[in-house]
């Protein structure tokens, strides 16, 4: 029996938001030369990466000794 309850007035419209403050441009730090040198320092060569096959390390790449937690008799 909602037709017996009084109608609730709608709230006033929301005012528009104030404009956003202006953003100051950021200064670039360092030169292009320094950025290139930093990138080259972090770059890894082929010799420093570990190459594995689809099943992990190749047999010749496996460590020669395997540490065990249990003593083998």
Which tens digit of pLDDT belongs to each residue from 5-62? 888 899 999 999 999 999 888 776 777 888 888 888 887 666 655 666 666 666 676 6
In angstroms and rounded to an integer, the radius of gyration of the C-alpha atoms of the chain is 34
3-state secondary structure of 38: helix
- Amino acid 54: pLDDT: 66
> How many helices and strands (H and E) does the chain possess?
1, 0
- Amino acid 7: pLDDT: 85
- Amino acid 12: pLDDT: 95
């Amino acid at each position: 029996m909602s037709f017996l309850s009084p109608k609730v007035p709608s709230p006033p419209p929301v005012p528009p938001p104030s404009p956003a403050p202006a953003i100051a441009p950021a200064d670039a730090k360092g030169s292009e030369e320094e950025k290139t040198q930093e990138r080259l320092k972090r770059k890894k060569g082929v010799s420093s990466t570990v190459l594995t096959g689809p099943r992990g390390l190749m047999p010749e790449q496996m460590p020669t000794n395997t540490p065990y937690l249990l003593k083998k008799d």
